[in-house]
Amino acid sequence: MKLSTLVGLAGVAVLAVLLEVMVGAGYISPFLIAPPSQIGVELVLLLLEERLVEAVFITFGATLSSCGIGILVGVPAGYVLYRFSLLAEAYEKWIAGLFSAPLILLYPLFLVLFGRGVLTIIVISSILATIPIVLNTMQAFGQVRRVHLNVARAFNLGRWQTFWMVLLPAALPTIFTGIRLGLIYSMISVVAIEYLVVLGGLGSLVSDLYDRYNIPGMYAAILAVIAVTVVFFKLATEIERWLRPM
């Protein structure tokens, strides 16, 4: 295990001990922040009841699906905008505007269109995931150094050879930045809509525990959300490392 990982875990452990002491001493109300020991107990209980396991799989699947759709749509769309400057000039500002718009507030419309189900969550979340992937992909290809393209031209590489051997490898770091942003937005969207609609995964579980005023259980479910996010980022890092072995 890396030293930085150990230092990070040590910091979390120190924070947990401090919270336990401050809540136990009465400096922090247990109705505001539950003692970490109670959160741990509730986490085990949720695991034993299998509610947490089911919720994790639902949220994980919805996030993976929406981010996957964002990649399948966003990367080709970003490349098209890079290739055709007229389209980029026409649509880049619109897409950037959507990036800052609270599209999640349109969930009532999507509920009418697709019904109260997981499909609604995936559709909204995939839209939110696609936008940063499109923008970062277009920027990634546009930042490829001209000298690389000149070398490809000097070796008489065709368009697709240039794409696979020069453009894509050079653009991958920025593309993965967009994918990470898309993952963040899709995860936030999935959990938020689950919370609002009380449907399916971890967001619904957090809402249910909050309504029953089970504060330790609510924090345990929130920790599960954080854990799922960490797993996704670890997967993204490993995939990028596999695609860029150098």
The number of folded domains in the chain is: 1
Residue 19 lies in a domain: no
Residue 79 has pLDDT above 80, yes or no: yes
Residue 144 lies in a domain: yes
CATH number reported for the structural domain that contains residue 136 in this entry: 1.10.3720.10
Residue 3 lies in a domain: no
Q: Which band of pLDDT confidence, cut at 50, 70 and 90, is reported for residue 136?
A: very high
**Element (DSSP H or E) covering residue 33:** none
- Distance set, CA 238 to CA 87, 140, 144, 241 (Å): 33, 20, 23, 5
Residue 126 has pLDDT above 80, yes or no: yes
Residue 245 has pLDDT above 60, yes or no: no
Residue 42 lies in a domain: no
Residue 14 lies in a domain: no
| Cα separation, 43 vs 220, whole angstroms | 5
Residue 233 has pLDDT above 90, yes or no: no
Q: Average per-residue pLDDT in the chain?
A: 82
Domain membership of residue 177 as a residue range: 51-243
Residue 129 lies in a domain: yes
Residue 72 has pLDDT above 90, yes or no: yes
Taking each helix axis from N to C terminus, what angle separates 36-49 and 51-83, rounded to the nearest 10 degrees?
Answer: 90
The structure's pTM equals 0.81
Residue 176 lies in a domain: yes
Quick one: average pLDDT of 11-23? 80
Q: Which band of pLDDT confidence, cut at 50, 70 and 90, is reported for residue 220?
A: confident
